[in-house]
Copies of this chain bind each other. A is one copy, B any other.
Amino acid sequence: MQTTTALSPGVIKEHIDAQLAAYFEKRRVESVALGASYAQLWKSLETLVMAGGKRFRPYMVVLAHQAYAPEEAIQPILPAAAAQELVHQAVLIHDDIIDRDTIRYGIDNITGQYNTLYAPFITDTNERHHMATSAALLAGDILLSDAHHFMHALKKPETMVQRASDILSTAVFEVVGGELLDTEVSFLPPGSISPEIIAHYKTASYSFVSPLTMGAVLGGAGEKEVATLTELSLHLGIGYQLRDDLIGMFGDSAVTGKSTTTDITEGKRTFLVERFEACATKTQKASFAAAFHNQDATPQEIAACKQALIDSGAKAAVEAEITKHEQAARACIDTLTIQPKAKELFHGLTDKCLSREA
């Protein structure tokens, strides 16, 4: 029987990191047959993936599995937890290409690393960036492919593996759609795509629904439980995104390590902005418009923009929305047919997602 110690996020992270390290080692050895270039890609991937990430999705897989099969060892389901992490890393690598970012976890991402690696061979910076991005594109591809392959290493009955693989495929299908919507929302006419649907498909689906329902299925949960977990996951995921929007706007940069001005100056159309537009006065809208989507906005204009978001009641409306998701999440947890101790862990997860400050 597992002790509750095995369930701590830190312990799960150790298990997953060990599995990922072994995977990178194996792939790097295999890649040598293709030459030093390919071995370098694996080195870059390992550097990136092992540099950061809280392994939050693997933790959720294990959490849900243990809720339904507390007496089972976690080893047989670790490949599913690792698969979730690889999908996540593939999504991040390709998302960085779309966002034209070169930094992740505070270090160079794949494009960033290859910009340096290719510098001696390609002098034109645009050309070099294209080639570096091509390496990142391929790097994301192989992680995505290997995520699926990890599922075949699950030591579970075939029908369970099948069901878990369906969940993984649906997650990829939905996050690809969510990424597309998130890309298009930046240039399609306002109102074309709602932030809620982006939060659902870009975040909640692959980051919450997929790990929690997969863990539960591998723990033997029935369809009714899986349906409740899906509902719970959507509340957690959408609530998480709402909290993210608030932190991105009103958080403490010293705590979050993120800018609290770029969401404004880049004109990111969050829930908060949508609520604001529905309830702001003319004067508030004018203050807002002076800084929103304006890279040259002054600190004073940005401060006034934020104040308008507060004064209009938009911030409070988003806080209330988070509270609604929190209450709904807790109601879902209460109806799950699991032990009180497991419910406590789900409540702890809810705190972590919805009450965090960073």
Interface residues in chain A, defined as those with a beta carbon under 8 Å from any beta carbon in chain B: 27, 30-31, 34-35, 37-38, 41, 90, 94, 97-98, 100, 118, 121-122, 130-131, 134-135, 137-138, 140-142, 144-146, 148-149, 152, 158, 162, 165-166, 169, 172-174, 176-181, 183-184, 187-189, 192-193, 197, 201
Contacts and interface: CB of A to CB of B under 8 A. Distances in A.
Given A137-B94, A145-B172, A37 B179 contact: no
Contact of A152 (B34, B165, B177, B180): B165
Q: How many copies make up the complex?
A: 2
A135 B180 contact: yes
A94 B183 contact: no
A121 B188 CA distance: 6
A137 B148 CA distance: 18
Given A37-B180, A38-B181, A100-B130, A172 B94 contact: no
A118 B173 contact: no
B193 A37 contact: yes
A31 B152 contact: no
Given A152-B165, A162-B152, A187-B122, A176 B37 contact: no
Contacts of A90: 141
A37 B166 contact: no
Question: Which of A97, A138, A145 gathers the greatest number of chain B CB atoms within 10 Å?
Answer: A145
Contact of A169 (B94, B135, B145, B172): B145
Contact of A174 (B34, B135, B152, B188): B34
A148 B189 CA distance: 36
Contacts of A145: 144, 148, 169, 172-173, 176
Given A38-B177, A41-B180, A131-B187, 8 more contacts: A34-B174, A34-B177, A37-B188, A121-B187, A131-B183, A142-B172, A145-B172, A149-B166
Contacts of A130: 100
Contacts of A172: 141-142, 145
